[in-house]
Chains A and B, each alone.
Chain A
Amino acid sequence: MQDIPIYEFTLLGWIALLPLLGAIFNGILGARLPRALVSTVAAGAMGVAFILSIVAVWTLFQGRFEGADGHTLYGALYHNVFTWFEVGSLRVDFELLLDPLSAVMILIITGVGFLIHVYSIGYMEGDRSWWRFFTYLNFFVFAMLMLVLGDNLVVLFLGWEGVGVASYLLIGFWYEDDEKASAGKKAFIVNRVGDFAVLLALFLLVIYAGSLSVVELREWASTLSPAQVTALGGVLTAICILLFIGCTGKSAQIPLFVWLPDAMAGPTPVSALIHAATMVTAGVYLIARLNFLFVLSPTAMTLIAVIGGLTAFFAATIGVVQNDIKKVLAYSTVSQLGFMFLAVGVGSFFAGVFHLMTHAFFKALLFLGAGSVIHGMHHEQDIRRMGGLKDYMPITRWTFLVGCLAIAGFPLFSGFFSKDEILWYTLANVHLLGGVNLSWFLWFLALGTAFLTAFYMFRLYFLTFEGECRADEKTRSHIHESPLAMTLPLVVLAVLAGFGGFVGIPPVLGNALGGLPNVMHDWLYQVIGPGEAFFAYRFEGYGMAWMSMAAATASGIGGIALAWLFYGKPSDVPGAMAEKAAAVHRILSNKYYVDEFYAATVGRGVTLLGRVCHRLVDELLIDTLLVNGTARLMGFLGSVLRVVQNGQVQRYVAFVFLGIAIILYLVLR
């Protein structure tokens, strides 16, 4: 048994608290303060939180030591803020835990978050609800930090719901537009469907594991004997699947992905921070965090991989035909999240987290680049009316290109490394569902997705930045490069998206290059190592790994080449294709009619049920028949009996005679 040390670290509380304080300050006073002060407080809180995060992670790194099995371990930093509530044997502490996994997350959240705060100063300039925006944004970061720092799953759930609330508020930020307000509501409600499942999973965990602390759960899961795991099999699978349903809500996977494309109604920095870099990856984080549970249920794991792979492919096909610059990126996000779930589903939690990180870099970059374009073109989002922007906004163009290369998996850009890891583990591990090994199926699915990704991203790039400008004269005369506050974050993110992948050099390359270490995998080993040990390679040596890498690279470059053929120069091929396959094009443009399906079934169903209950049960059955019916019955009985007592002596006499007659009849009969 390996003892993991923990170290009290009070600053952890401050990392989460700073953005909250920023939100409270701006929320209460922001409306009356000068704009510069509001944004300084908001971005400043983020900046300090980022510095504190670095200090915390550095402290964690300083505590490294060699574990029994030769791997480097780091222990964890810990701070118990207070006891949230305690009932009987259930105690929920507000405890924060920083281990290597949450360290990666807080660096992404505060780092990318800080950049996006800075960017927002430029992007949101002139918006009249400036203070409200920064309040929400800071609040979001607080909730997200609670999500990744909480050791107790209830605290995690607080963050989980908190980011949902922030997302709701920010998507519906321009609430005067009913459609945008509805998009926010939709996001929250769809997320709630997932949260419902998470709640049930938490209950099952309490019942069977007796705890909700991740640390304790980990001990529990790893002490289960084989016989116990068999006995608990169904329960474990149920827990894992319920948790995963929660993830499909938060991370926009099939079947709950419908809210994310609509969420693009929010301001673009929000799309970058919440709907690309951080919140939507919470599901991946949750599975990586609880990897010790998920590995106990191979069924759930394979299901996750299949859903992830299908989502990745399915969303990519939709992304190919979208014309709204943000919608393309939205479907791309759904697709890339699918990749991450594929990774964790196939047992490579490292690849999932790694792709989460590189995706945070390049997708934040792409969204911010898109925001820069939208800003420069005065709120034009349709790529059919763009083109040739490389001359007008060079910084945006070059950084956007880096983002596209990264997401397409162009060699040595960050996405190349993380995507390669996913493909390799998909192929190398065995994923049984109903006795069938799905490795090759999933691998081809991922390969196809990689191809489509490269294609639609470069379609986007070519249509936006290359060729002739298709905007009208008036717009064209106003196109301009964005201010420094916006371009600076782009440059920083471009550097990260370009070189960020080198922290996770795959063994096959590292070996060939003379034993370069996979820094990130070593860093995460403490959290995910034992989980990953559940899976063994199917292949000996590096031959298949080279093959997989070559295939991935080829499909990425192939996608870029095809996009260049279609859109790199004026061409009528795309139009002709769309006409030839009109049916396919229509289905894809309408996103497989999933929204319509939900509206017709769930949406209509609830309304109908409500109407029936209200009109039929409440008003007719209970009120009219039973309640008022009783009243009317009383009234009726009264009116009948009133006839007997109307005060007329004659009638009384008549009744007396009638009574005598009846008695006589009964007696003499």
Chain B
Amino acid sequence: MTENLIPWITLTVFTPLLGAIVLALVPSEHKQLHRHMTVVFMGLTFVLSLPLVLLFDDAHVGYQLTAPVENVEWIAALGARYHVGIDGISLWLVMLTTFLGPIVALSGYSAIEKHVKEYHVALLVLQTAMLGALVSLDLLLFYIFWELMLVPMYFLIGVWGGAQRIYAAIKLFIYTMFGSVLMLVGIVYLYMKGGMVGFDITHLIEVGRSLSITEQRWLFVGFGLAFLIKVPLFPFHTWLPDAHVQAPTAGSVILASVLLKMGTYGLIRYAMPMLPDGVFWAAPYIAVLSVIGVIYGAVVAFVQKDVKKLVAYSSVSHLGVVTLGLFALTSASVTGALYQSLAHGITTGGLFLAIGIIYERRHTRDMDAFGGIARQVPVFAVLFLIVTLGSAGVPGLVGFIGEYLILLGSAQSYAIAFPAEETRMFGLAFGAVGWAFFFTAIAATGVILGALYLLHMYQKVMFGPVKHDENRSLLDVNGRELTYMFPVVAMCFVMGVFPQFFIQKMDTSVQHFIAQVEQHAVEYAPMVEENRAANRERRRFRGEGDAAFSWPMIDAARSGEFSFDNGRDDDGQADDADPLPDDDDTP
């Protein structure tokens, strides 16, 4: 890897903050100027983040793209450093954040009329905080960005939100703070255990691993709760519907697309590699809560009348699948969990944007107030349909890949099984595979339920006869709305058809992550070893007999080493005419 001298990461992180400062200096009566400038700064941030993808080295293990000036002393007395960098886990989350920046800025042009300047300053500060949290490699730095995210979000909901915005904002704040405080205790404990030399995460991760199982459990409760509330995992989710419903469109989009991902990101970056035994201890319980969340979120979404609330509960369902994948700890499921995080960002963000568009026209989120508007707003109908189907996980669109990988991975997981003595339920004994498959099967019902509530929503809003006269004169999307909806819809296709472009940059980091967790498990090391043996055992089902037909060329064709000469080599010689091993049960 070549030395990276330009601090692209720092530029990406602080450009929005610079924008916020510039905006603060412009008098507040220039509303339109504030809007334009925000879009420009958000766009600039996105452009500045593009080199991260281009310079990213797929094969590199660990953090990369840290410029020399990005690893410097910050608070000498504590040993805290300003240290930023990215790896395959944070790369795409950073890109998702910068990608959505201009989009959310554009979405508020006509919706926000009061305190325009402050609104945009809040958006920009929030952007910096989120990006900062994603790239920090120093736990104290991370914690500060983490807490900083809460402040602008609190105001976005509390000032520009709906009727019950204060309740929602406070609920969000308290819920998150509750977890954060526990995390802070954990950070301090680790810091002291580590000899109070600093907060570098590589160092603290090593400290965490060396702790006893009891300590790991307690710390995992602290860190885990902080992140799982953010995800949100059932039953810590009730702040989410309120926050979503009350937040302005931009707030909902950021909340769903990026803030929730901070939870999964925190788990995979900090909590899980730091506390491997804690992970194995908690995994089955989290799996239970995850699959409950999948069904719970879906059925509650189904009975909602408020379309934003419906989408909010769909997040609970979708993210239940993500946490299941994360704790299943197989390469497919963790990759899937990361991919699904991105997918959820695109589709749910897209759904909130779409809802924002019709909300601006009718000022209601009640599904019964719509119906039959597909004829009035044909372009909108198409865009809305694509994000809806993307969210429902239709193959070829973004939602499928992540969901599929998660379920595939968790079906073969050993981590989410309850230890042997706890597996006798209802007189039934489950093996590790049994548990994993059981959880997977329940989570996979999300496939059915997702279609149920999403198509229900789409039909209620778009199809049927026009029931309300005010809907007859509804305007289709304008140029600005199309400008910000189009990239989202395009990403639905791009990420559904060409996932490999994204996955290949994650792969090394994901494999490294899993290997780290598995290698450093002490208490649960026998379980890891047992799983390896079981995997070997399963391979005994790989063919013993002779195949009737074989396809010798297909492997070569797949790897591209085989050149087809369309002439035949027609020596279909027969070494064995016996078609199949004669083990059939038919007489």
Instruction: Using CB atoms and an 8 Å cutoff, list the residues of chain A in contact with chain B.
Output: 1-8, 27, 31, 63, 65-69, 73, 76, 78, 80, 82-88, 90-91, 93, 95, 154, 157-158, 161-162, 165, 168, 172, 175-178, 181-182, 185, 188-189, 192-193, 195-196, 199-200, 202-204, 206-210, 213, 215-216, 218-220, 222-232, 295-296, 298, 347, 429-430, 432, 526, 529-530, 533-536, 606-607, 609-611, 613-614, 617-618, 622-623, 627, 631
Contacts and interface: CB of A to CB of B under 8 A. Distances in A.
Interface of B: 171, 174-175, 235, 238, 241, 296, 299-304, 330-332, 335-336, 372, 374-375, 378, 382, 389, 394-396, 400-401, 404-405, 407-408, 411-412, 433, 437, 440-441, 444-445, 447-449, 451-452, 455-456, 459, 462-466, 498-500, 503-504, 507, 511, 538-554, 557-558, 564, 566, 568-570, 572-577, 579-587
Contact of B544 (A66, A80, A218, A224): A224
Contacts of A296: 584
Nearest to A534: B584
Contacts of A82: 498, 500
B548 A1 contact: yes
B550 A203 contact: no
B584 A224 contact: no
Given A192-B451, A225-B544, A534-B586, A618 B238 contact: yes
A68 to B, nearest CB: 3
A67 B441 contact: no
7 contacts: A2-B548, A68-B576, A88-B332, A176-B375, A192-B452, A195-B447, A200-B440
Contacts of B238: 618, 622-623, 627
Given A84-B500, A85-B499, A165-B394, A1 B302 contact: no
A189 B437 CA distance: 23
Contacts of A222: 545-549, 579-581
Given A87-B335, A189-B452, A226-B581, A536 B299 contact: no
Contacts of A199: 404, 407, 444, 447
Contacts of B564: 7-8
Given A175-B464, A210-B542, A224-B581, A200 B448 contact: no
- Enumerate the 8 nearest inter-chain pairs by beta-carbon distance, A residue then B residue, closest first: A68-B574, A223-B543, A226-B583, A8-B564, A610-B303, A181-B463, A178-B464, A610-B299
A234 B447 CA distance: 25
A176 B464 contact: yes
Given A63-B568, A207-B411, A185 B456 contact: yes
A533 B547 contact: no
Contacts of B575: 1
Given A67-B574, A68-B577, A86 B504 contact: yes
Give the most central of A88, A93, A617: most B CB within 10 Å: A88
A206 B413 CA distance: 13
B386 to A, nearest CB: 11
Contacts of B459: 172, 175, 178, 181-182, 185
Contacts of A204: 411, 437
Contacts of B550: 1-4, 219
A66 B570 CA distance: 9
A178 B465 contact: yes
A295 B587 CA distance: 13
A90 B332 CA distance: 8
Given A7-B564, A85-B503, A533-B579, A606 B551 contact: no
B571 to A, nearest CB: 9
A161 B401 CA distance: 13
B557 A185 contact: no
A160 B228 CA distance: 35
Contact of A178 (B171, B463, B558): B463
Contacts of A91: 558
Nearest to A78: B557
What DSSP secondary structure best describes chain A's contact surface?
Answer: helix
B448 A5 contact: no
B299 A3 contact: no
A213 B551 CA distance: 12
A76 B375 CA distance: 46
B587 A607 contact: no
A445 to B, nearest CB: 20
Contacts of B449: 606
Nearest to B303: A610
A533 B572 contact: no
A85 B403 CA distance: 13
Given A176-B465, A199-B444, A206-B412, A86 B503 contact: yes
A611 B303 contact: yes
Contacts of A627: 171, 175, 238
A438 to B, nearest CB: 13
A172 B456 CA distance: 13
Contact of A87 (B241, B433, B445, B507): B507
B235 A208 contact: no
Contacts of B378: 31
B500 A83 contact: yes
A176 B553 contact: no
A357 B117 CA distance: 67
Nearest to A172: B463
Given A85-B500, A86-B504, A610-B299, 6 more contacts: A27-B382, A154-B404, A176-B465, A223-B547, A298-B584, A622-B235
Contacts of B511: 88
B416 to A, nearest CB: 14
Contacts of A66: 572
B408 A90 contact: yes
A86 B331 CA distance: 11
A285 B113 CA distance: 58
Contacts of A176: 372, 375, 463-466
A87 B331 contact: yes
A613 B441 contact: no
A234 to B, nearest CB: 12
A65 B302 contact: no
B581 A614 contact: no
A610 B300 CA distance: 4
A481 to B, nearest CB: 33
Given A193-B448, A215-B551, A226-B583, A181 B464 contact: yes
B408 to A, nearest CB: 5
